[in-house]
Amino acid sequence: MIKFLDLHKINERQRPEIDAAVKRVLDSGWYLLGKENEQFSKDFARYCGVKHVIPVANGLDALRLIVKAYGFGPGDEIIVPANTYIATVLAVSDNGCTPVLVEPDIATYNINPDLIEAAITPRTKAIMVVHLYGQAVEMEKIRILAEKYNLKIIEDAAQAHGAVWQGRKTGNLGDAAGFSFYPGKNLGALGDAGAVTTNDDELAAKIEALRNYGSKVKYQNLYQGLNSRMDELQAAVLDVKLPLLDKDNNRRREIADYYLKNITNPKIILPQAKYREGHVFHVFVVRTEERERFQNYLSENGIQTVIHYPVPPHKQPAYKELNNLNLPITEKIHREIISLPISQVMTDEEIKQVIEVVNAWK
Ligand SMILES: *Cc1c(COP(=O)(O)O)cnc(C)c1O
């Protein structure tokens, strides 16, 4: 069987280094807010080209903390893509802000910049873009709007570590960004972890305190914060894995190229990578009107697939107040998409097999 994602195989490639990092932390007797966090912050900041990296407990917290640090709350609106993972919307509503959902561009699946201005009101405070499926959002029009209406740009970069737009990496395309290092992400920890990136000194200092009970000096609380620190263990493991990220992303692009060139089944709509460095193919999402039948067929032929995602945020029971929104493009996408296996450890043989099976579907 071809697995959708083989995390064991991914981490096994660096087993001795990971073992040594885990041992180092265990031996140190220091498990939170220490040298490993410091080192990973420095290295990930250099990688993204940003001034500050604040490690936190997970990607949702990274986004929640950015919204909180800006002081956005009840009565404030934040524009988010309708086509996203629920975490983007949760980060907004968890702070008491109102998420304003904007339809995607069907070509990229990312927020459609041409539809944003109509969604801006006097209460709008920020635009939260999501580099969905690994493809960097094209920022020109969004930047112009942010300037015109004095809005912050927050990036949800949870799926797009290393994706580039106009020579700059995600995490460095707005005012602040949230990353996730959930095990299945392009850069994944051995459990939950996340980070905020920003070039804003004041925001960085505030988030650093907010994620640690609102405290800079032990037992002195500047803000009503939360507990959202990254374990030293996870920081140590991430620092071992970071040097492979570009190579891994390139392998994903190579697999995507094979798929794009060789999948010729007319029933399958392939994704579009607008330019090579802009997409790190966190997932390879195709569309078909007969999604269920296609998924069953692939499964019967030994190919594991996942749907990212089967139900859009505005149709979730958790968001009753959004259930009646009319978002036909988002709904069409959610009805038709399916993600084929793609990862840095897939073999050429497996890739060929996926292509053959997909092309043989009638
Ligand atoms: C994974 C993900 C998140 C949340 O990250 P966690 O670490 O799981 O909290 C946020 N946004 C998007 C788009 C994601 O894919």
Confidence of residue 194 (pLDDT cuts 50, 70, 90): very high
What spacing in Å lies between the alpha carbon of 158 and ligand 1's midpoint? 5
Residue 41, phi then psi, degrees to nearest 5: -55, -50
Q: What is the pLDDT of residues 144-153, one digit of tens each?
A: 999 999 999 9
Confidence of residue 73 (pLDDT cuts 50, 70, 90): very high
What spacing in Å lies between the alpha carbon of 86 and ligand 1's midpoint? 8
What spacing in Å lies between the alpha carbon of 75 and ligand 1's midpoint? 25
- Mean pLDDT (whole number) for 314-327: 98
The number of the ligand 1 atom at minimal distance from the alpha carbon of 193 is 7
Confidence of residue 80 (pLDDT cuts 50, 70, 90): very high
pLDDT, the chain, mean? 98
* pLDDT value for 205: 98
* pLDDT value for 274: 86
The number of the ligand 1 atom at minimal distance from the alpha carbon of 88 is 11
Q: What is the pLDDT of residues 113-126, one digit of tens each?
A: 999 999 999 999 99
Q: What is the pLDDT of residues 234-281, one digit of tens each?
A: 999 999 999 999 999 999 999 999 999 999 999 999 999 989 999 999
What spacing in Å lies between the alpha carbon of 172 and ligand 1's midpoint? 18
Confidence of residue 357 (pLDDT cuts 50, 70, 90): very high
Q: What is the pLDDT of residues 100-111, one digit of tens each?
A: 999 999 999 999
Tell me which residues have their CB closer than 6 angstroms to ligand 1: 58-60, 84-85, 87-88, 130, 156, 158-159, 180, 182, 192, 194
* pLDDT value for 241: 98
Report whether pLDDT(295) > 90. yes
* pLDDT value for 185: 98
- Mean pLDDT (whole number) for 285-295: 98
Which protein residue's CA is at the shortest distance from atom 5 of ligand 1?
Answer: 59
Q: What is the pLDDT of residues 10-44, one digit of tens each?
A: 999 999 999 999 999 999 999 999 999 999 999 99
The number of the ligand 1 atom at minimal distance from the alpha carbon of 61 is 9
Of the candidates 55, 165, 245, 325, the residue with the CA atom closest to the CA atom of residue 153: 165
What spacing in Å lies between the alpha carbon of 85 and ligand 1's midpoint? 7
Ligand 1: residue of 180, 185, 229, 308 to mutate (most ligand atoms within 8 A of CB) is 180
Task: Classify strands 77-81 and 152-156 as parallel, antiparallel or unpaired.
Answer: unpaired
Task: Classify strands 152-156 and 124-130 as parallel, antiparallel or unpaired.
Answer: parallel
Report whether pLDDT(182) > 90. yes
State the SS3 of the chain: CECCCCHHHHHHCCHHHHHHHHHHHHHHCCCECCHHHHHHHHHHHHHHCCCEEEEECCHHHHHHHHHHHCCCCCCCEEEEECCCCHHHHHHHHCCCCEEEEECECCCCCCECHHHCHHHCCCCEEEEEEECHHHECCCCHHHHHHHHHHCCEEEEECCCCCCCEECCEECCCCCCEEEEECCCCCCCCCCCCCEEEEECCHHHHHHHHHHCECCEEECCEECCCCCECCCEHHHHHHHHHHHHHHHHHHHHHHHHHHHHHHHCCCCCCECCCCCCHHHECCCCEEEECCCHHHHHHHHHHCCECCECCCCCCHHHCHHHHHHCCCCCHHHHHHHHHEEEECCCCCCCHHHHHHHHHHHHCCC
Confidence of residue 75 (pLDDT cuts 50, 70, 90): very high
- Mean pLDDT (whole number) for 282-304: 98
